[in-house]
A and B are shown apart, each in its own frame.
Chain A
Amino acid sequence: MRDAFVSELLLAARQDPKIMLVVGDLGYGVVDGFADELPGQFLNAGVAEQSMVGVAAGMASSGYRVFVYSIANFPTLRALEQIRNDVCYHGLDVTIVSVGAGVSYGTLGYTHHAVEDIAIMRALPNMRVLSPADPMEAKAAVHDVLGAPGPAYVRLGKNGEPTLHEQIPVSLASVQYLRRGPDGVLVGVGAVVGECMVAADILRSRGINITVISCPTIAPMDSSWLDEWHSSPLIVTVEEDRLPGGFGSAVMEEVSQKSSDVAILRLGLDDSKLTVIGSGSYLREIHGLNGPSIAESVWRVLGS
């Protein structure tokens, strides 16, 4: 997903000299090609995230379209007030890109798990929050943020996520239907949507045909899709982060504004297991977020 995003960004940057990539001394093997080809549009701000985001805001105020690239919580939580005050309050054209959404950094541990970022970033004013589900959506995210200047946060997985779309979606502003079925809805954000597809296959083999939706733009959320499902037996939200304030919370906020009594089941990380060591796929299993676990959670509600 990260390579897809950076390669698409390079394509855009070749055409637009205002695009500037600022990194926090991370991205070895990922950003080198960009830096080598367009050195005038590249800045390594060093291991200094607060300064990096302040610098990015200053460059944006001077006409650049700035992409800040780092991993995990470093360009978000470490520089939160710079994002809030310098970028969001002033409405500057800075896109924060963080690789390693959820537990994708696996064994690197909790310091490297971006699992509160959705809640925190979507609380900021003027901030768009995008969480692409696959490499195609990651490429589309480049065009989405360039299409509407302003503060944005793009959370990316690492590499190797399954490709769910045949083509690059035209826009990520609305939800992406990946499968349709009448028995309920699995709506997810980020790479865990791939696990939702696995869960849907398992459920189909057990006689439950379920819709799978990717919701790549978490804020501002286009909630019109909910209108179709207000009498659905169940909407299950799936996210690879902690639940308080996260994607499921955002969906419930939207549901609360509609006359709907649809049941919502939120799936996310289990706080009691944040210290477990393991690979990303192992942690998803532990937290009940791999395909079989998601299928089991749905089956418990709908299976009888």
Chain B
Amino acid sequence: MCGHAKAAHIGSSLSVIDILAVLYSGAANINPNMVDYPDRDIVIVSKGHAAAATYAVLGHAGYFPLEWLDEYCSDGGSLGGHVTKGRVPGVELSTGSLGHGLPFATGIAIARSRQGKPGRIFVVMSDGECDEGSNWEAALLAGHHRLGNLTVLIDRNGVQSLADTEQTVRLEPLAEKWTAFGWSVHDVDGHNHAEIRAALKRAKNEAQPTVLICRTVKGKGVSFMEDQILWHYRPPSESELIAALSELGGAT
């Protein structure tokens, strides 16, 4: 996708893809037949630059024909370079500008709670996105209202746009920040499906909002991309694509 589309953010997509795979393969109560079901679980991908990962997961989960992936970022296609609602089944909110997902999800969580409706609300955020003040505004509100139906999953790959998160605007101690805002915090290996799934199950019984700090590796699975800021932006060349796919065990 990123290769032929010459699209960026492949590193950000590889770090978050296991989190998305877990959510869309049963951890969240959603499937392609219930995209308009009112009491469905809601997944909001707030790190909208992880569009390639989101669309790959949605495609493999059956939300749209896999051929769509070949038209990623093509003229007149359905799949653009940021997660966009409108033409893509399964997408709940257009994102790409960071810091929008959590306030929106908090609104849904409050609505469900006021309406006495079931359903969990999941927000997938990047760690660099924690710089956005709007998230902390919403985190304060969600903590105040003890929104147990709200769960945030942070893709803690440690690398943001220009440098490491800790060199940019220090986030640590990140868990303590969320705790102080009234959230229950779980630390998980963001590439271990069983661990993510178990933490999500535990979070279901919380009486307050929950955050999973998912430790991940930017560019996970491709040795020359891992932990490299370069791959926040760069699309792979043809030879790099072949090397990457060979490492990941995929077909060319």
Which residues of A are in contact with B by a Cβ distance under 8 Å?
A: 40, 43, 45-46, 48, 50-64, 81-82, 85-86, 89-90
Contacts and interface: CB of A to CB of B under 8 A. Distances in A.
A62 B112 contact: yes
B202 interface: no
B112 A51 contact: no
Contacts of B38: 63
Contact of A85 (B94, B105, B137): B94
Contacts of B110: 43, 55, 58-59
B106 A55 contact: yes
B104 interface: yes
A86 B137 CA distance: 16
B249 interface: no
Given A50-B99, A50-B134, A62 B94 contact: no
Q: Please provide the 7 A-B residue pairs with the shortest distance between their CB atoms, ordered closest to farther.
A: A58-B107, A54-B103, A51-B137, A62-B111, A48-B137, A55-B107, A50-B134
A58 B111 contact: yes
Contacts of B111: 58-59, 61-64
Contacts of A60: 107
Contacts of A63: 38, 111, 115
Contact of B114 (A40, A52, A56, A82): A40
Nearest to B114: A40
A56 to B, nearest CB: 6
Contact of B141 (A45, A61, A64): A45
B241 interface: no
A45 B107 CA distance: 10
B138 interface: yes
Nearest to A48: B137
Given A48-B140, A58-B105, A89 B94 contact: yes
A54 B100 contact: yes
Contacts of A59: 107-108, 110-111
A57 B104 contact: yes
Contacts of A61: 92-93, 104, 107-108, 111
A83 to B, nearest CB: 11
Given A40-B114, A63-B115, A51 B106 contact: yes
13 contacts: A52-B137, A54-B107, A54-B134, A55-B107, A55-B141, A57-B103, A57-B107, A58-B109, A63-B38, A63-B111, A81-B100, A82-B134, A90-B85
B39 to A, nearest CB: 10
A221 to B, nearest CB: 27
A58 B141 contact: no
Contacts of A55: 103-104, 106-107, 110, 138, 141
Contacts of A89: 94
A48 B115 contact: no
Interface in B42-66: none
B173 interface: no
Interface residues of B, number: 28
Nearest to B106: A55
Nearest to B133: A50
Nearest to B119: A62
B97 interface: yes
Contact of B103 (A43, A58, A64): A58
A62 B41 CA distance: 12
B131 to A, nearest CB: 14
Nearest to B144: A46
Nearest to B99: A50
A38 to B, nearest CB: 12
Given A48-B137, A50-B99, 11 more contacts: A50-B133, A53-B103, A54-B134, A57-B104, A57-B107, A58-B106, A61-B93, A63-B111, A82-B103, A90-B93, A90-B94
Contact of B97 (A43, A45, A58, A85): A85
Nearest to A79: B134
Q: Which of B112, B140, B141 lies at the interface centre, i.e. has the most chain A CB atoms within 10 A of its CB?
A: B141
A97 B92 CA distance: 26
A86 B100 contact: yes
B108 A58 contact: yes
Contacts of A40: 114
Contacts of B138: 48, 51, 54-55
B149 to A, nearest CB: 12
Contacts of A45: 141
B68 to A, nearest CB: 21
Contacts of A50: 99, 103, 133-134, 137
Contacts of A43: 110
A118 B127 CA distance: 36
Q: Which of B85, B99, B134 lies at the interface centre, i.e. has the most chain A CB atoms within 10 A of its CB?
A: B134
B84 to A, nearest CB: 9
A182 B94 CA distance: 51
Interface string B122-154: 000000000001100110110010000000000
